[in-house]
Amino acid sequence: MNKRSFLKSLGLGLASVPFVGTSEAMHMAATVKPLLKGKVLKPGDTVGIITPASALGDEDAITLTKEVLTYFGLNVKEGKYIRERYGNLAGTDAQRLEDLHAMFADKEVHGVLCIRGGSGASRLLSKIDYKLIANNPKPLLGYSDITALIMAFQAKIGLVTFHGPVGTSNWSNFVAKTFTDQFMDNKLVTFANPDKKGDNIVQYKDRISTINPGIAEGKLLGGNLTLISGLCGSPYLPDFKDSILFLEEINESPEKVDRMFCQLMNAGILAQIKGFVFGKCTGCSPSAGYGSLNLDQILRDYIKPLNIPSYSGAVIGHIDDQFLLPVGVKARIDANKGTIEILEKALI
Residue 171 lies in a domain: yes
Contacts with 18 (C-beta within 8 Å, 6 or more apart), sequence order: none
Determine the Cα–Cα distance for residues 179 and 169; give it in Å rounded to an integer: 13
Bridge-partner residues for 113, per DSSP?
49, 141
Task: Name the pairing type of β-strands 109-114 and 46-50.
Answer: parallel
Model confidence over 271-315: pLDDT tens digits?
Answer: 999 999 999 999 998 866 567 899 999 999 999 999 999 999 999
CATH of the domain at 120: 3.40.50.10740
The predicted model gives 166-183 an average pLDDT of 97
3-state secondary structure of 247: strand
Residue 266 lies in a domain: yes
pLDDT of residue 290: 63
Residue 53 lies in a domain: yes
Same domain? 195 vs 175:
no
Do the beta carbons of residue 136 and residue 103 sit within 8 Å? no
Residues making up the chain, counted from first to last: 348
pLDDT of residue 10: 43
Task: Among 160, 184, 208, give the residue marking a domain's end.
Answer: 184
Residue 137 lies in a domain: yes
The total number of structural domains that make up the chain: 2
Determine the Cα–Cα distance for residues 185 and 347; give it in Å rounded to an integer: 10
Same domain? 270 vs 331:
yes
Pick from 20-24, 194-198, 320-324: least confident: 20-24
pLDDT of residue 288: 63
Model confidence over 23-67: pLDDT tens digits?
Answer: 443 343 334 568 999 999 999 999 999 999 999 999 999 999 999
The predicted model gives 92-101 an average pLDDT of 98
Residue 31 lies in a domain: no
Instruction: Specify the DSSP class assigned to residue 329.
Output: S
Instruction: Specify the DSSP class assigned to residue 24.
Output: H
Task: Among 184, 200, 217, give the residue marking a domain's end.
Answer: 184
Residue 165 lies in a domain: yes
Instruction: Specify the DSSP class assigned to residue 127.
Output: G
Same domain? 147 vs 271:
no
Same domain? 163 vs 229:
no
| pLDDT(17) > 90 | no
Provide the domain limits for residue 293. Answer: 190-342
Give all strands of the β-sheet with 190-192 in edge-to-edge order. Answer: 190-192, 339-342, 330-334, 215-224, 243-250, 275-282, 310-312, 209-212
Residue 1 lies in a domain: no
Contacts with 76 (C-beta within 8 Å, 6 or more apart), sequence order: 46, 47, 48, 49, 65, 66, 69, 70
Same domain? 59 vs 164:
yes
Same domain? 149 vs 60:
yes
Same domain? 236 vs 266:
yes
Task: Determine the angle formed by the axes of helices 22-31 and 3-15, rounding to 10 degrees.
Answer: 150
Task: Among 184, 216, 247, give the residue marking a domain's end.
Answer: 184
Determine the Cα–Cα distance for residues 341 and 345; give it in Å rounded to an integer: 11
3-state secondary structure 287-328: CCCCCCCCHHHHHHHHCHHHCCCEEECCCCCCCCCCCCEEEC
| pLDDT(203) > 90 | no
Same domain? 64 vs 96:
yes
Same domain? 174 vs 298:
no
For residue 288, the number of C-alpha atoms closer than 13 Å in the C-beta half-sphere is: 0
For 183, other C-beta atoms within 10 Å of its C-beta total 29
Determine the Cα–Cα distance for residues 265 and 258; give it in Å rounded to an integer: 11
CATH of the domain at 323: 3.50.30.60
Same domain? 257 vs 149:
no
Model confidence over 214-264: pLDDT tens digits?
Answer: 999 999 999 999 999 999 999 999 999 999 999 999 999 999 999 999 999
Q: Which residues are catalytic?
A: 144, 248, 318
Same domain? 196 vs 336:
yes
Determine the Cα–Cα distance for residues 140 and 110; give it in Å rounded to an integer: 10
